[in-house]
Amino acid sequence: MQPDELILQLKKQNEVAFSQIYDMYSENIFGIINNIVKDVEIAEEVLQDVFIKVWNKSDSYSADKGRFFTWLLNISRNAAIDKVRSKAYKNKLKNSDFDDFSFFIKDDMDLDSQSDGYGLRKFVDKLKPMCVKLIDLLFFKGYTQKEVSETLDIPLGTVKSRNRSCLNSLRETLG
Amino acid sequence: MNTKDYIESGLLELYVYGVLSPKEQAKVAQDVAKDPELQAEVESIETILLELSKATSPGVKPSLKESVVTKLRSKSFQHKPKVKIMTSNYSYFGWAAAILLLGGILWLLKLNQDLQNDIEVVNSQLETKEVQITKASQKAETLEELLLQMGDPSTRKLTLPGNKLNAPNSSVIAFYTDEKEELILDISRLPEAPEGMVYQVWSLKFEPLTPKSIGLLAEANSTENRVFRFKNVPESEGFGITLEPAGGSEQPNLKQLYALGTI
């Protein structure tokens, strides 16, 4: 469920509401950002920027236009992409050695039950390689259907349905 | 499209991702708001996405929240006094008035510049007139002096007939006042001196013939080069006028004698 009352209070610049929303969504946003900037330190900077925007621009969210989580996603992805394009970022990270969110799965030998990597493993294990790519581009990186179709070289008309069946395979086992 | 097909299409997933066009995004939001089944599906999709994205997080440091709140307070302090830029019709009137005013000022400046120019022209015309008046009054003064001189009982009028060879039909009128050693010559009937030549006036004494230069007609005081006045004229028994090279000569060139007369 969407925390409608908290959102209303956030729009009224209520700090307590902000704090609760931060607690609810900061890990999700951090995951999204980190998947794009691929550097924890930089991701931390961007996370702070994102929440400052959430506070300052809470006026611009309207339930008529979509989900609050979607609104957060867009702010986060845009901020992360802006960062990636910045000169400071390019200087710090010349090249990256991973492509999608499955990179964050740590080596099996290092895992303990508490690690984040363990949490991710259970997702990735359920997904075919093409599904990992689809969800990575659409959900984490915010590609449009057209961009995904071109990047993965699959027909435009099948992006929507393929993505649904990929996500369903997660929902059936975990949801 | 019925609810089941709608769900199966995969559109709702993309709607939660936020990757549809703004128009599509708004359309789906409307549809979802009307249909509880769609609503439930969206919630379910969101739940799995929350889990997935949380699982990719490397873990947010607890200290980060404090830092965000601190920034937010300082930012919101700067943020609060929102300055709204009013763009009402009045502001357009304001701009229009400003432009009109500017146009008016420019027009006045132009007008002022034109008037300044006019004043300058008038001033310079005035100066020219003053110069002309001064010249005219000087001329009148000179003529008056000449007239007085001619009317002086001690002034003798002489006619210097033109030389038959060089100036057969001309003559020069001379007024000689020996007491004041002054001589006035009217050469208006002499031909114009050619380029590079000049008339020279000589004082003559006879037995023996002794010419003495009085001056050049080009240099002496004159009224429009017709009436010349000489001072300090030595005692003379006659006067002669010859044409000499510019600058004059020591002795008269008698071949170029133009007028000669005795007292």
- Across the interface, do A174 and B51 touch by the CB < 8 Å criterion? yes
- Please, are residues B190 and B174 in contact by the beta-carbon 8 Å criterion? no
Quick one: closest CA in A to B67, which residue?
Answer: A48
Q: Which of B51, B53, B73 to mutate to test the interface with A (most CBs of A within 10 A)?
A: B53
A60: distance to nearest CA of chain B, Å? 14
Query: Of A2-6, A32-36, A165-169, B79-83, where does mean pLDDT reach its minimum?
Result: B79-83
Closest Cα in chain B to A132: B52
Query: How far apart are alpha carbons A16 and A19 in whole angstroms?
Result: 5
Pick the range with the lowest mean pLDDT from B41-45, B59-63, B160-164: B160-164
Q: Which amino acid is at A81?
A: I
| DSSP code per residue over A82-131 | HHHHSHHHHHH-S--S--SGGGGPPPGGG--TT-HHHHHHHHHTTS-HHH
Residue with structure tokens 């873990």? B59
**Mean pLDDT within A4-19:** 91
pLDDT interval class at A175 (50, 70, 90): low
Burial pattern B207-230, b for ≥16 Cβ within 10 A else e, equals: eeeebebbbbbbebebbeeebbbb
The whole-angstrom distance between A87's CA and the closest CA on chain B is 23
Question: Distance (Å) from the C-alpha of residue B111 to the closest C-alpha of chain A?
Answer: 55
The 3-state DSSP class for residue B262 equals: strand
**Statement: residue B102 has pLDDT above 90:** yes
H or E segment to which residue B232 belongs: none
If one compares A32 and B246, the residue with the highest pLDDT of the two is: A32
CB spacing of A170 vs B10 below 8 angstroms:
no
Whether the pLDDT of residue A47 is over 90: the answer is yes
Across the interface, do B58 and A30 touch by the CB < 8 Å criterion?
yes
CATH numbers and ranges of domains, chain B: 1-57 (no CATH), 156-262 (2.60.40)
Q: Give the one of B9, B26, B52 whose C-beta lies nearest to A170's C-beta.
A: B52
Beta-carbon count within 10 A of B247 CB? 11
Q: What is the mean pLDDT of residues B189-218?
A: 85
Q: How crowded is residue B238: how many other Cβ atoms within 10 Å of its Cβ? A: 19
pLDDT at B83: 56
CB-based contact B238:B262 (threshold 8 Å): yes
Q: How far is B106 from chain A (nearest CA, A)?
A: 46
In this prediction, residue B256 carries a pLDDT of 83
The residue in chain A having the minimum alpha-carbon distance to the alpha carbon of residue B32 is A66
- Out of A82-91, A125-134, B204-213, pick the least confident: A82-91
ipTM over 0.85: yes
B58·A52 Cβ contact <8 A: no
Interchain contact, A47 vs B54, CB within 8 Å = no
Q: Tokens representing B11?
A: 């559109």
pLDDT at A106: 47
**Residue B80: closest C-alpha in chain A:** A56
pLDDT of residue A111: 38
For B:114-173, CB contacts with A below 8 A are: none
> What residues of chain B lie within 8 A of the CB of A173, using their CB?
none
**Higher pLDDT, residue B223 or B96:** B96
B64 with A48: Cβ contact below 8 A: yes
pLDDT over 70 percentage in chain B: 92
Q: Flag whether pLDDT at A149 surpasses 80.
A: yes
Chain mean pLDDT for chain B:
86
Confidence label for B87 from pLDDT (cuts 50, 70 and 90): low
Q: Which of A31, A43, A71 sits opposite B55 (nearest CB)?
A: A31
- Which is higher by pLDDT, B142 or B88? B142
Q: Where exactly are the structural domains of chain A?
A: 4-92, 111-174
Closest partner residue to B54 (CB to CB) among A31, A160, A164 is A31
- Match 């925390």 to its residue by tokens: A3
**Would you place residue B225 in the very low, low, confident or very high pLDDT band (cuts 50, 70, 90)?**
low
Band (pLDDT 50/70/90 cuts) for residue A25 is: very high
For the domain made up of A4-92, the CATH class stated in words is: mainly alpha
**Listed range (A28-42, A82-96, B25-39) with the worst mean pLDDT:** A82-96
Give the confidence band of B127 by pLDDT, cuts at 50, 70, 90: very high
**Does B159 score more than 90 pLDDT?**
no
Best residue in B13, B20, B52 to probe A by mutation, most A CBs within 10 Å? B52
Pick the CATH number of A111-174 from 2.60.40.10, 1.10.10.10, 1.20.200.10, 1.10.760.10: 1.10.10.10
pLDDT tens-digit readout, A103-128: 665 444 333 434 445 567 777 877 88
